[in-house]
Structure 1
Amino acid sequence: MRLLRSYCNRERQTAHLAKLRAQAVTGRVSRDRSSIPACTPAPKRLSAEANAAIIADYAAKMPVRAIARKHGVNEGTVHHRLKRAGVTKRPYAIQPNTIEEILRLHAKGRTNVAIAHSVGVSESSVHNVLKKHAS
């Protein structure tokens, strides 16, 4: 305790620490939970109407990211809801004109990274297109 007092000049803090030490020695430590932030709230449950709206938005060709933002949920939640509802997912495909552009830029000697940057797809997508259309 003497070390504690010499370490901390503030009377109030020293008293608080002495109280905590005494409680720890007796084995009865009570914690003040008022300063502890509340736990993260449980995720909200989506109503049947919200699920129907997600499905309708997807059927209207709205991108999954936009649907997630609109309904305040994660993209994974949108995919999960679509799967549970038995909705057939749209295939992700690079448009034919984008494939032609990738092949044209590759023929000019540009790197996959540069092609991906200029076309607006990932480097792995460029690699897959070149692999598929290798001659």
Structure 2
Amino acid sequence: MTPERRAELVADYEAGVPVKAIAAKHRVHRGTIPKIVLGAGVPLRVPGLSDANRSQALALYEAGCTLQEIASRLGVDDKTVRNAVVALGGTVRARGRRTRFDV
């Protein structure tokens, strides 16, 4: 990867772009991103959701959104959303068909 592309990747990371999106944009494995970022002297972000986004995730889930829909909206993995819902006392629904909600 050229130094210019590395700098662009680091800039994306510092701007808060999700690692999954950076990996797709720069065609690298997401595990490569922390190595490049740390090599540039940039501290790694704390993984997961902020308190505000965790509360938003729970509210959306309780309103009927799926974990995957919420994850897509918040730019994180659906497992991250599931962990946030459970941590805030929510109950994860069984998989399968659901009634469509407008949120």
Bin the TM-score by the shorter chain. Answer: 0.5 to 0.7
User: What does residue 19 of structure 2 align with?
Assistant: 64
1:96 aligns with 2:55: no
8 A Cα contact 1:55 1:82, kept in partner: yes
The separation in 2 between residues aligned to 1:84 and 1:66, in whole angstroms, is 20
1:124 aligns with 2:69: no
Letter in 1 for 2:23: A
Ranked by relative contact order (alpha carbons within 8 Å, sequence separation 6 or more), the top structure is: 2
The separation in 2 between residues aligned to 1:62 and 1:117, in whole angstroms, is 18
Aligned residues between the structures = 80
* Greater C-alpha radius of gyration: 1
Alpha carbons of structure 1 residues 55 and 119: separation in structure 2 relative to 1, 3 Å: closer
Alpha carbons of structure 1 residues 97 and 67: separation in structure 2 relative to 1, 3 Å: closer
SS at match of 2:31: helix
The separation in 1 between residues aligned to 2:11 and 2:69, in whole angstroms, is 33
Letter in 1 for 2:28: V
TM-score (norm 2): 0.54
SS at match of 1:130: coil
SS at match of 1:80: helix
Q: Which of 29, 39, 51 is the equivalent residue of 1:84?
A: 39
User: What does residue 38 of structure 1 align with?
Assistant: none
Q: Give CA-to-partner distance per residue, 1:37-62, whole Å, 9 cap, x none.
A: xxxxxxxxx22222111111112222
Unaligned runs of 5+ in 1: 1-45, 106-113
The separation in 2 between residues aligned to 1:117 and 1:54, in whole angstroms, is 26
How large is the RMSD of aligned CA atoms in angstroms? 3.3
The separation in 2 between residues aligned to 1:71 and 1:117, in whole angstroms, is 24
Letter in 2 for 1:127: V
The separation in 2 between residues aligned to 1:63 and 1:101, in whole angstroms, is 17
